[in-house]
Amino acid sequence: MAWRDVLGRLTAWRAGPPIIAVVRLAGIIGQGAPGRRGLNLWALDEALERAFKTRNLKAVALAINSPGGAAVQSSLIHKRIRSLAAEKGVPVIAFAEDLAASGGYWLALAADEIFADESSIVGSIGVIYSGFGLVDLIAKLGIERRVHTAGEKKSILDPFRPEKAEDVARLCALQGAVHAQFRNAVRARRGRKLRAPDEELFSGEFWTGARALELGLIDGLGELKSTMRERFGAAIRFRTVRAERSFLRGLLRQDTGAFGGAPDARWIDGALDALEDRLAWARFGL
């Protein structure tokens, strides 16, 4: 054996096996209820940094299981992943599990390639607002709603007051602007791969992974480990990079009396957030 071959094998041995850094993006996108963590850039940034700094890194795999959530956080996480990928020159490959819908699909767009299971739910490229109208309820309970504002538009869409047409129109205009940003992200990342008219792709409809492949929303069907081994070889090792929750972050999220409202309202906030989370998953039959 030539000395160059020996030196090459020794160098490879000292470097260790090639690594795939796996970042899980699971759950509702947003800040989350007190004491619970949603998917947001503040919580994920450190983990993303560590993933792209992994020694002997071959690629970053995104394991996505999300029904969506906050559009701004979806966009911020997407941009951060793209920035790190460009800086490190590392490929990013996304894998949809049960769901990569709405903001979850926005996160998947940060990858160079997107894979899903045949039965994964993919798409829902739209914007939604949901809330409750409690006007009749408080009237039956004999409760009077008192609201005082400086600025005539400050109390729009108050759930305890009758809905106004001009407030709904303003909300629809905001949703239209966010929807346009989402559409632009899809076009920028998928480009000529898309194989359906805008009216179908951007209607808010969602599809199985098999149909999403036909539409050009994903690149293939496959599971994370087997697909990555096929791509990069059987010698690769997987390293899951998790977001670390610091002691200070825990205090900030749990001390609702100081940072998030009265302590005796904590259970109400948590219950409402849990209901919203459940509804977000239930929209897709999960």
Catalytic residue among 102, 120, 124, 155: 102
Q: What is the C-alpha separation between 283 and 54, in angstroms, rounded?
A: 37
The mean pLDDT of 136-157, rounded to a whole number, is: 72
Locate 183 and state its tokens: 């559409």
- Confidence (pLDDT) at 5: 56
Per-position b or e across 189-224, b if 16+ CB within 10 A of its CB? bbeeebeeeeeebbeeebbbbebbbebbbbbebbeb
- Confidence (pLDDT) at 126: 86
Residue 246 annotated to the active site: no
Q: Is-contact 52 43, C-beta < 8 A?
A: no
More confidently predicted of 164 and 70: 70
Close Cβ partners of 257 (under 8 Å, ≥ 6 residues apart): 263
Instruction: Give the number of other CB atoms < 10 A from CB of residue 111.
Output: 25
Q: Is-contact 88 110, C-beta < 8 A?
A: no
More confidently predicted of 61 and 175: 61
The mean pLDDT of 34-39, rounded to a whole number, is: 61
Locate 156 and state its tokens: 């729009």
Per-position b or e across 138-150, b if 16+ CB within 10 A of its CB? eeeeeeeeeeeee
Locate 39 and state its tokens: 């998917």
Class of domain 16-126+191-282 (CATH, top level): alpha beta
pLDDT band at residue 266 under the 50/70/90 scheme: low
User: What are the domain boundaries of the chain?
Assistant: 16-126+191-282
Indicate the range of 135-144, 190-199, 204-213, 244-253 predicted with least confidence: 244-253
Locate 188 and state its tokens: 């920028």
pLDDT band at residue 258 under the 50/70/90 scheme: very low
Q: Are β-strands 92-101 and 113-116 bridged in parallel, bridged antiparallel, or unpaired?
A: parallel
- Continuous segment of H or E residues that includes residue 71: helix 71-88
Indicate the range of 147-161, 203-217, 249-263, 267-281 predicted with least confidence: 249-263
Cα Rg of the chain (Å, integer): 23
The yes-or-no verdict on residue 251 having pLDDT over 70 is: no
Residue 175: phi and psi, rounded to 5, are -60, -40
pLDDT band at residue 283 under the 50/70/90 scheme: low
- Confidence (pLDDT) at 158: 72
> Tell me: the pLDDT tens digits for 148-207?
777 777 677 777 777 778 877 887 888 889 899 999 999 999 999 999 999 999 999 999
Angle of the 71-88 helix axis to the 41-52 helix axis, nearest 10: 20
pLDDT band at residue 273 under the 50/70/90 scheme: low
Enumerate the β-bridge partners of residue 208: 121
Q: Quote the pTM value.
A: 0.79
Close Cβ partners of 262 (under 8 Å, ≥ 6 residues apart): 256
